[in-house]
DNA sequence: CGATCGATTGAGCCCTCTCAAGAGAGGTGG
DNA sequence: CCACCTCTCTTGAGAGGGCTCAATCGATCG
């Protein structure tokens, strides 16, 4: 088994405040796994055998409802943890994690978590911060869905994706992984038809440039304006 | 300063796995505070000077948007923690906590958190579990808002409130604190008008019984049916 | 007993969904 | 290398759920 390079992970939030020797010890227990595009890291309902750190690529976490509808929970960027079910008291994964690009993850057996946490309590406090900020983000999403129109929500979603995983290209900022209209619909609680119409409109106005599973923000600032504009005068 | 009775808090999730002596030591640093009905425990944006455990009463956590709209984040029941901003890496409270009933909280200075966590690492793992389950609940809410109609969402919300804070009364289960149509609207992402119409309808059908800031579920099972019924055939 | 706050109810509209086709892009196998 | 097939995206037409606007009523409180 090849050793994992410490420098790759030393700066991740999960390992903040760790000494190199500690990091080595922890990494010794991890395996590096390559997940091909469209492969699953884990599936909703499955026994939570491992937890992960994404090293490379992009992963979509999604849940299916009883009625069979899919909702995208979030997109995972390199450096983030995923599948930390045990840490938050779950024995099964609450969502399905799908690689949207060829990806590489570090995997630890879930069984190791309690022992690691006991030995390195910072793991718990660091994870607490991570889960806390995800809670904040999810609350923001609830608030958006409660108070904003579809157009604003979609603009926000694209801006967030661009900030998180944007790549500078000649004519703007491109979202750095394949994403379909359907995916955006499942992130914003709409239908792919509405997203298609919306993006077509924006494209005509020169705000974006889009193709098959590809979106470039040409005028991010204009999108910010759109995202923040209230339907009509609301603020006192 | 009166000593706080250990037995009151020994069973709370936050203190799971603590020895009585440890509990005593932690409680020594807490103050007990009475918050009158409609009083604030803390306000959104304010410096996070303390964190709390609710001992008695009910507290509503809500956020205001830039546009000035309120959204109810959750209702806090006795035994739950609130205001743990520092633990999740925030220096200001992300929401406002209002007592909806005369309430009593235990308060610790936020400054004590890092020291307490270092000495009692279980505080971190216990809080991690709590924050994790709140994250799950918030995800459920996003999913409901994405896939369900208002009627289903409201039914779910009432059932959840009843499960969390229901009191058995002669003709059903009463939600054990004052709650207005407006509050329910802010929990479910609708308007008080829609809620009023909906509840009026349910009342006529004998499902519930309601008055000013008061709701009794007469036929919880019927509400479950309502909550789970898809608008039209959706599941494969 | 007036004033304030919560609840009710009607009318009309509009944003978004549903239903329905069809076109374009990419991948694959012969 | 071409033909086919699948997946993604586009676009139109129509309907409807829930919102907005508006007015009134009832209850609680000082």
| B143 and A CB contact within 8 Å | yes
Q: Which domain holds residue B128?
A: 6-136
The β-bridge partners of A107 are A31, A52
Q: Is A176 within a domain? A: yes
Looking at the fold, whether A64 and A99 belong to one and the same domain comes out as yes
Looking at the fold, whether A25 and A127 belong to one and the same domain comes out as yes
A139/B63 CB distance under 8 A = yes
**For A88, which residue in chain B has the nearest alpha carbon?**
B129
Q: Is B28 within a domain? A: yes
A89/B129 CB distance under 8 A = yes
Q: Is A143 within a domain? A: no
- Which stretches of chain A score pLDDT less than 50? 233-236
From the list A67, A132, A235, which residue is nearest B89 (CB)?
A132
Looking at the fold, whether B10 and B31 belong to one and the same domain comes out as yes
pLDDT tens readout for residues B23-32? 999 999 999 9
pLDDT at B233 over 50: no
Last residue within a domain, chosen from A136, A171, A193: A136
Give the pLDDT score at B236.
34
Is 0.85 topped by the overall pTM? yes
Looking at the fold, whether B72 and B108 belong to one and the same domain comes out as yes
Looking at the fold, whether B155 and B108 belong to one and the same domain comes out as no
Interface of B with A in 193-232 (CB under 8 A): 228, 230
Handedness of CA B152, B44, A85, A130 (dihedral sign): positive
Q: Which of residues 18-47 of B touch strand D (CB under 7 A)?
A: none
The mean pLDDT value for B55-61 works out to 97
CATH code, domain with B153: 1.10.10.10
> Rounded to the nearest 5°, which phi and psi values hold at A31?
-115, 150
Count of the separate structural domains present in chain B:
2
Give the pLDDT score at A60.
98
Contacts of A29 (CB under 8 A, 6+ apart): A108, A109, A112, A116
Within 7 Å of a protein beta carbon, the nucleotides of strand D are 8-13, 17-22, 26-28
Q: What is the mean pLDDT of chain B?
A: 94
Looking at the fold, whether A22 and A131 belong to one and the same domain comes out as yes
Contacts of B123 (CB under 8 A, 6+ apart): B14, B116, B117
pLDDT band at residue B6 under the 50/70/90 scheme: confident
Looking at the fold, whether B75 and B28 belong to one and the same domain comes out as yes
How many C-beta atoms lie closer than 10 Å to residue B139's C-beta?
Answer: 22
Chain centroid, CA A5 distance in Å: 24
Looking at the fold, whether B125 and B153 belong to one and the same domain comes out as no
pLDDT tens readout for residues A9-55? 999 999 999 999 999 999 999 999 999 999 999 999 999 999 999 99
pLDDT tens readout for residues B102-113? 999 999 999 999
- State the Cα–Cα distance between residues B135 and B111, nearest whole angstrom: 25
Looking at the fold, whether B164 and B84 belong to one and the same domain comes out as no
Q: Is B104 within a domain? A: yes
Give the pLDDT score at A232.
53
CATH code, domain with B60: 2.60.120.10
- State the Cα–Cα distance between residues B50 and A12, nearest whole angstrom: 29
Q: Is A234 within a domain? A: no
Give the pLDDT score at B234.
39
Give the pLDDT score at B2.
55
pLDDT band at residue B5 under the 50/70/90 scheme: confident
For B59-113, the DSSP string reads: EEEEEE-TTS-EEEEEEEPTT-EE--TGGGT-SB-SSEEEESSSEEEEEEETTHH
- State the Cα–Cα distance between residues A44 and A33, nearest whole angstrom: 19
Q: Is A58 within a domain? A: yes
Looking at the fold, whether A83 and A193 belong to one and the same domain comes out as no
pLDDT tens readout for residues B74-97? 999 999 999 999 999 999 999 999
Give the pLDDT score at A236.
35
Last residue within a domain, chosen from A81, A110, A136: A136
Looking at the fold, whether B113 and B196 belong to one and the same domain comes out as no
Chain centroid, CA A100 distance in Å: 11
Looking at the fold, whether B27 and B125 belong to one and the same domain comes out as yes
From the list A66, A133, A142, which residue is nearest B138 (CB)?
A142
Contacts of B141 (CB under 8 A, 6+ apart): A142
Reading phi first (left if > 0) and then psi (alpha if -120 to 50, else beta), residue B17 is in: left
- State the Cα–Cα distance between residues B227 and B156, nearest whole angstrom: 6
The mean pLDDT value for B15-39 works out to 95
| B73 and A CB contact within 8 Å | yes
pLDDT tens readout for residues B185-215? 999 999 999 999 999 999 999 999 999 999 9
Q: Is A141 within a domain? A: no
Q: Which nucleotide is nearest to B213 (CA to C1')?
A: C6
Q: Is B54 within a domain? A: yes
């Amino acid at each position: 088994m090849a050793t994992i390079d410490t420098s790759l992970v030393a700066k991740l939030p999960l390992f903040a405040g760790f000494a190199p020797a500690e990091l080595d010890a922890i990494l010794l227990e991890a395996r590096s796994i390559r997940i091909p595009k469209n492969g699953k890291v884990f599936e909703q309902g499955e026994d939570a055998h491992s937890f992960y750190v994404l090293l490379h690529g992009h992963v979509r976490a999604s849940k299916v409802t009883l009625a069979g509808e899919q909702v995208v929970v979030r997109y995972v960027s390199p450096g983030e943890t995923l599948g930390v079910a045990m840490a938050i008291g779950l024995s099964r994964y609450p969502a399905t994690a799908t690689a949207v690009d060829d990806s590489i993850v570090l995997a630890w057996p879930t069984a190791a978590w309690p022992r690691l946490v006991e030995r390195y309590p910072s793991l718990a406090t660091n994870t607490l911060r991570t889960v806390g900020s995800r809670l904040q983000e999810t609350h923001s999403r609830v608030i958006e869905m409660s108070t904003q129109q579809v157009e604003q929500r979609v603009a926000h979603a694209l801006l967030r994706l661009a900030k998180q995983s944007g790549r500078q290209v000649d004519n703007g900022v491109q979202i750095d992984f394949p994403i379909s209209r359907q995916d955006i619909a499942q992130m914003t609680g709409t239908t792919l038809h509405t997203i298609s119409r919306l993006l077509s409109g924006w494209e005509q106005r020169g705000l974006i440039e889009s193709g098959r599973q590809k979106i470039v923000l040409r005028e991010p600032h204009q999108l910010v304006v759109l995202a923040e504009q209230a339907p009509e005068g609301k603020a006192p």
